[in-house]
Structure 1
Amino acid sequence: MTYGSSGQQSCYYYWSCKGIGLSCAKRFVNEGARVIGTDVDEETGRENISKLGDNAIFIRHDVSKEEEW
């Protein structure tokens, strides 16, 4: 899917600080999407998502805790 050709798109991606999640976040950014990456590992998440450039931000989020939704 190419995001840049159809206008600005955004995605919210959890478990995005490493591994497959980070690879997916990179792909979305490379395709022109703006990404909000989340994970419980705040230190690693901030470090890795910041490397994706201005179209990606990190927010600490534990998807297993209802109060954080």
Structure 2
Amino acid sequence: MINDMNIGGVFFPGLLVIAVLALVFTLLCVSLFSFNRFYLRLPYRPLMGFSIYIVTFSLFIQGLNALGLFA
């Protein structure tokens, strides 16, 4: 169960750590999608980037719940 993460004596909330990880993976996914011609032709790409962030965040939460690490 992850409540807080202790990094160098500083406690960070578990959701903050997961949100930062989801942001990093979202940036990687968006940079990979930018090579695709379809992604460049989307009318509103910031909305697509935000939805990719929401999906990656929910997948992290769901995966940690399935492993029993986040309750």
Please, what TM-score do these two structures have when normalized by structure 1?
Answer: 0.30
Greater C-alpha radius of gyration = 2
Q: Which has the larger strand fraction?
A: 1
Please, what TM-score do these two structures have when normalized by structure 2?
Answer: 0.29
Q: Which has the larger helix fraction?
A: 2
Where relative contact order (Cα < 8 A, 6+ residues apart) is larger, the structure is 2
